[in-house]
Amino acid sequence: MKSMKTIGALALAALFVVPFVGCQVTRNGQTLPSPQYLKDDIQYHPSGNEFQYQEEVDQMNKINAERQAANAMY
């Protein structure tokens, strides 16, 4: 008898807790936010170069220009 009361209490608690859990869900191909989305931290990523290795390419071009200038002297 005690176990039936425990199972009933757990089932009732689950019915009341589940709607308040902040989970993202996917419905009909759309990702819907959690109920707490207004409390989430804002993530800001500043725009930058689309090409991640621009500094390396610039350095390689500088080195190649210096080598060509050094070869032109001889």
pLDDT digits (tens, 9 = 90+) for 15-28: 776 666 666 667 78
pTM (whole model) above 0.95 = no
Q: 34 with 22: CB under 8 angstroms?
A: yes
pLDDT, tens only, 28-59: 887 777 777 777 777 777 777 778 898 999 99
